[in-house]
Chain A
Amino acid sequence: MGEISNNTLAMLVGVAILLTLIAVLTPRGPVYITGRATDVGVAKVNISKFVAINFTDDIIDWGTGYVAEGAYNCTLDTEGNVGATCSGFTAQNNGFTIENIGNRRVVLQLKTGKDATEFINGTNPVYQYKVSEAEAGACGGTLQPTTYTDVNTTDPGTTICDNFLFQNPKDSLNIDVKIVIPSDSNTGLLTDTFTATATEAT
């Protein structure tokens, strides 16, 4: 590497002086004079309110099966029970789990698309549900129904919790489902949906 000439040095010094002047004179330029300073800062943040819910467990899968020969019906639920007269179905230990992921307390309503006859059909079909707290204290109001009750297809559904809290770790509820399939039920692929509706609790 060769030596730097006097001219180059003079030019570099000139550029340095120019940059320093720009930095000092520019009020909000990219270069600042450093040093210790104290100031009072006000941090402002605006948290928006919103209502949001999430089905963290939205599957009920008993698989494929049938009512045993000679039996009148077969009972399945999401608490791990598969009736003795059920053949081929897989036990389910979980129903639906719904979480309040917003930042407001909500009223939660639940409805289904079909009732027992529309969904299962046959002689005395049963299609019921019940709710419980997946996390203790998640419902800060009335939680219902806590025993198996026929599903409700009427809009907007049954109020299952009138004060569903959002603070972790008490913000999730379980919905268990029980069905009784008569031997003369619909066959093939049976479908239905549960719809949970959240509205801010006022």
Chain B
Amino acid sequence: MKKLALMCMFIVLASSCFAIGIMPPSLFINFEPEKNHTFNFLVLDVKYDKVKIENYVRESYLSKYTTLGPLEKVGNDKATFNVTLSLPSKVDVPGVHRILVGVREMPLEEKRGIGAFAAVQAIIDVLVPWSGEYLKVDLIPQNLAVNSTGTFKIKLSNWGTANTTASLKLLIMDLNKAILSTMNVADNVFIKSFETKEFEVSVNSTGYAEGTYLAAAIAKTKLKEYSSEEEKFMIGSLKLKILDFTKTVIQGKINPFKIKVKSYWNDIISDVYAEVQISKDGIVVDTFKSPSYEIKPWNKLDIVTYWDTSGIEPGAYLTNITVFYQNKEEHASGYIIVKAKKEIPVALIVGGFILLVIIANIIIWIVLLRKQKEGEKSAKRKTKRK
């Protein structure tokens, strides 16, 4: 048994809104042996009256080559600092090496309770080239309207130490990765080490059905083929329709409220949810929201939410339904009938019970009477035999 004196206090930090920002948020440099770089950062939105700040470099593959400069206050809510990166003569592991430089808020003094503080980090990516040939292909597709033309962007970067020549293609695929179209983008593209070239490709959606597709850019050299990530893009627009919804509910209870929707799209639509507004005579009586659902391609789905009709009078109510999905909305409206709860009167229950008791008694009485008569008859028979 514990004493009442065991008390915990969660009286927390004084009211405040903590914020912090950093600029620039990311930098990208190519590795050059023994080269020194100095990066300047600006820290924004510092609430000096509420917090103190400290800067740091997170430990990583190249962090040992950095030197962190001190924070210097600028104005009422800003600070600056710099980071010097002294690159070594050689780095063994090729690729993009990330250095994270950050600033975090700290409490001015130890206070009671659970507090929340923010930190922001800037990225310094250092590209260490691969020995020989290495191409990186990036594709940025564009969603297209039906029977229209759009532009896909391709970025070709040489992350190797050797210059090379490549041809570039764009593939359009269905979601099963079956190739629907191959477009030749460029032939004999000469690209130097550390160089990046950008290409724009016109893609026409004529002849394609509405839906989600995949695209990939392929760069081919004499030695190897390099592919971008397979990127999704859409032709047409996502379609989802409200087919039906609950039209009657019972007063004074928590009723399930179903909204039947159908997807007219060839891919999964996630984050589908509904908001329902119930009103009468222009006055909103209640609003409620459903959880999020995922609907499979071309499938029907019941979005289920619940309406508590406690305190709601029986009658017809206007229902406005909005189904949200992927930054789109689908609307439906109609009337819902709130039916009065069917309650059996107490007198009827008591009367019915009494009637049941009487019937049971009559049955028992009849059975007993019959048994008594049969007993008397058998007694008479025995007497006659004697």
Distance in Å: Cβ of B112 to nearest Cβ of chain A: 4
Q: Which of chain A's residues has its CB closest to B59's CB?
A: A155
Docked complex Cα distance between A186 and B245 (Å): 53
B13 at the binding interface (Cβ < 8 Å): yes
Partner of B25, one of A67, A102, A188, A194: A102
Residue of A51, A62, A76 with highest tally of chain B CB at under 10 A:
A51
- State which of B2-10, B194-202, B306-314 sits at the interface with chain A: B2-10
Number of interface residues of B (CB under 8 A): 52
Is A190 a contact of B44 with CB atoms below 8 Å? Answer: no
**Is B26 a contact partner of A200 (Cβ separation < 8 A)?**
yes
Alpha-carbon separation in the docked complex, A71 to B11 (Å): 23
Say whether B116 contacts A50, CB under 8 Å: no
- Among A6-14, A21-29, A38-46, A177-185, the stretch that binds chain B is A177-185
Binds A, one of B100-108, B144-152, B160-168, B228-236: B100-108
> In the complex, are the beta carbons of A52 and B22 less than 8 A apart?
yes
In the complex, which residue of chain A has the Cβ closest to the Cβ of B292? Answer: A136
Beta-carbon contact of A50 and B12 below 8 Å: no
Q: In the complex, which residues of chain B have a beta carbon less than 8 angstroms from the beta carbon of A89?
A: 10
Q: How far is the CB of B87 from chain A (nearest CB, A)?
A: 21
Given contacts A50-B21, A64-B11, A185-B8, A196 and B118 within 8 Å (CB-CB): yes
Q: Across the interface, which residues of A come within 8 angstroms of B244, CB to CB?
A: none
Complex: A59 Cα to B17 Cα, angstroms: 9
Query: Do B102 and A65 touch across chains, with their CB atoms under 8 A apart?
Result: no
Asked if residues B271 and A137 are in contact (CB atoms below 8 Å), the reply is yes
A104 at the interface (CB under 8 A from B): yes
Q: How far is the CB of B253 from chain A (nearest CB, A)?
A: 23
Q: Given A59-B12, A61-B12, A189-B9, does the pair A194, B114 have CB atoms closer than 8 Å?
A: yes
**CB-defined contacts of B100 to chain A, threshold 8 Å:** 199
**A55 near B122 (CB under 8 angstroms)?**
no
B52 CB to nearest chain A CB (Å): 13
Task: Tell me which of A61, A102, A193 contacts B11 (CB under 8 A).
Answer: A61
How far, in Å, is B98 (CB) from chain A's closest CB? Answer: 9
Contact of A186 among B8, B15, B115, B327 (CB under 8 A): B8
B207 on interface, CB distance cutoff 8 Å: no
Residues in chain B within 8 A of chain A (CB atoms) = 1-13, 15-26, 44-45, 58, 100, 102, 104-105, 107, 110-123, 125, 271, 273, 324, 327
Name 7 extra pairs, CB < 8 A, besides A51-B22, A58-B16, A136-B273. Answer: A55-B17, A87-B4, A187-B6, A191-B115, A195-B104, A198-B118, A199-B100
Chain A interface (Cβ within 8 Å of chain B)?
Answer: 48-56, 58-67, 69-71, 76, 87-89, 96, 98, 101-102, 104, 120, 136-137, 156, 175, 177, 181, 183-200, 202
19 contacting pairs across A/B (C-beta < 8 A): A48-B23, A48-B24, A51-B120, A52-B21, A53-B21, A58-B17, A60-B113, A64-B9, A87-B4, A136-B271, A184-B2, A187-B7, A190-B9, A190-B10, A193-B114, A196-B118, A197-B119, A200-B26, A202-B26
